[in-house]
Amino acid sequence: MSYELVVGLETHVELSTNTKIFCQCTTEFGGEPNSHCCPICLGMPGTLPKLNKKVVEYAVKAGLATNCKIRNLSKMDRKNYVYPDLPKAYQVTQFDKPICEDGYITLSSGKSIRINRIHIEEDAGKLIHERGDTYIDYNRGGVPLVEIVTDPDIRTVDEAVEYIEQLRLIMKYIGVSDVKMQEGSLRCDVNISVRKKGEEKFGTRTEIKNMNSVNFIAKAIAYEFERQVDILESGGEIHQETRRYDSDLNITESMRSKEDAEDYRYFREPDLVNIYVSEEEIKKYKAELPQLPHEKLNIFINEYGLPKDDAELLIKYKKVAEYYEEASKNLKNKKLASNYILGQIYRKFPTDSEKEEFNISIPPKYLNDLIQLVESRKINSSMASNALEKMLDSGKAVTEFISEKDMEGIDENTLRELCIKAVNENQKAVESYLGGKEKAFKSIIGYIMRETKGKADPIKATEIIKEIIGKI
């Protein structure tokens, strides 16, 4: 019997506001434990929260960028539970009136994953277990989050991975989060069930909480799918529960049976007023959104004429995409700029995080200048790549390494004379080329490049030589 995977994702995205959601403490990652705290985010009795307006703006932007409807009037609620990471014994979140609803993200296959809701909430503190003791760091407590919840539309591991990567990129592009998964600023709860192929009713799901690696999410889903299918095949049933993924063993294990909404005794947060977002504000936030990754992708492919694979590599890192746009300005052949970035330049940034940071020593204008010289045939590609290497090492402009004289190139008459000389002095090569050996041609061109110290235009020289030896 064949089974189908069903996955729904709840993604927590920490917002990159300067201060926390209800107080003035910094949201900066790390720091001495409990040094980014005050009576408000420690939940001391008698303190009052005040909502950070930037949080509302960022949540609305997250919603707009994922095709959601924005609710003009929403509110915050208390979700009650007792756990040491939550000093107030409740989390301030949104229950029945989330700020954004009914959106979607479209995957490269054209399939859309619906977004059921996006709500605002505060992050909890962090428990640190050491040698049998447990410590609490409240620095993260009160950092603003949006939780982005999909419908159970995901059917394969690849779709889950692509959804997370796209969501991550969108949040990065619109500047609401640094989305550093290793620092926990993007974490997923993964809901998984299986059903027999063709069946409509969903199976009972399990939920794996707090995952911050796409790789582990993929492995956990694959494992959990097999586990659930095995249970059903051997006549058992799935219990709705929360599980954790053990990356050392690559297994999931039960943590606790799942809570229902009633368990949390949600009620309105009485210390905060309603959140009102006017149509004008929504319009303004929409106008402030930058081009989204899929929009850039379309432009790179359809307007700049890049192959899809190259365009995808460029948009994967926001800084690279923006650098490329600048570097390819006014070029006739925009692929040339992409080739330099994805080839010679990327070799200087081998890791993912280096590409993400993209601390390149030369401004995009310098690369553009260099490519203009190649396009106008003032320099050839081997001169360009030598110069680029020196530019990248020094941060200096192309004019530092290539002089006007170098750029003069070889005028047509001189080149023609040289070509005649080349043909005369390389008779053997000419003969074997005429005899069908394409490769032999290279040595004739090589001769010209040597004679001119690389300044001749090899394409032009090829034309002339072929003309001379009567084979155009």
Which of 74, 139, 150, 185 touches ligand ADP (CB under 6 A)?
150
Q: Is 6 in the site for ligand ADP (CB under 6 A)?
A: yes
Residue 4 vs 369, nearer CB to ligand ADP: 4
Give the tokens for residue 308. Answer: 């899809």
167 binds, among ligand ADP, Zn ion, none (CB under 5 to 8 A by kind): none
Q: Is 191 in the site for ligand ADP (CB under 6 A)?
A: yes
Q: Give the closest residue to 190 by CA, choosing from 5, 14, 10.
A: 10
Cβ of residue 454: shortest distance to ligand ADP, in angstroms?
A: 60
Which of 25, 99, 149, 160 touches ligand ADP (CB under 6 A)?
149
Residue 29 vs 346, nearer CB to Zn ion: 29
25 binds, among Zn ion, ligand ADP, none (CB under 5 to 8 A by kind): Zn ion
DSSP letter for each residue of 403-435: -HHHHH---HHHHHHHHHHHHHHTHHHHHHHHT
Q: Give the closest residue to 412 by CA, choosing from 459, 370, 461.
A: 461
Segment contacting ligand ADP by CB under 6 A, of 6-14, 95-103, 159-167, 242-250: 6-14
Residues between 197 and 236 that touch ligand ADP (CB under 6 A) = 202-203, 205
**How many Cβ atoms are within 10 Å of 301's Cβ, its own excluded?**
15
Residues between 24 and 53 that touch ligand ADP (CB under 6 A) = none
Cβ of residue 42: shortest distance to Zn ion, in angstroms?
A: 7
Residue 4 Cα distances to 39, 193, 234, 236, angstroms: 49, 9, 17, 17
Residue 8 vs 49, nearer CB to ligand ADP: 8
Residue 202 vs 267, nearer CB to ligand ADP: 202
Alpha helix stretches (DSSP H) within 31-156:
53-65
Residue that has been written with the tokens 């949600």 in this structure: 266
Q: Is 152 in the site for ligand ADP (CB under 6 A)?
A: yes
Report how far residue 143's alpha carbon sits from residue 231's, in angstroms, rounded to the nearest whole number: 40
- Nearest 5°: phi and psi at 149? -110, 125
- Nearest 5°: phi and psi at 52? -70, 120
CA angle centred on 265, ends 262 and 267, rounded to 5°: 125
Report how far residue 233's alpha carbon sits from residue 299's, in angstroms, rounded to the nearest whole number: 49
Residue 41 vs 410, nearer CB to Zn ion: 41
Q: Is 9 in the site for ligand ADP (CB under 6 A)?
A: yes
Footprint on this chain of Zn ion (rule: CB under 5 A): 23, 25, 38, 40-41
Residue 38 vs 299, nearer CB to Zn ion: 38
> Contact residues for ligand ADP (CB under 6 A)?
6-10, 149-152, 191-193, 202-203, 205
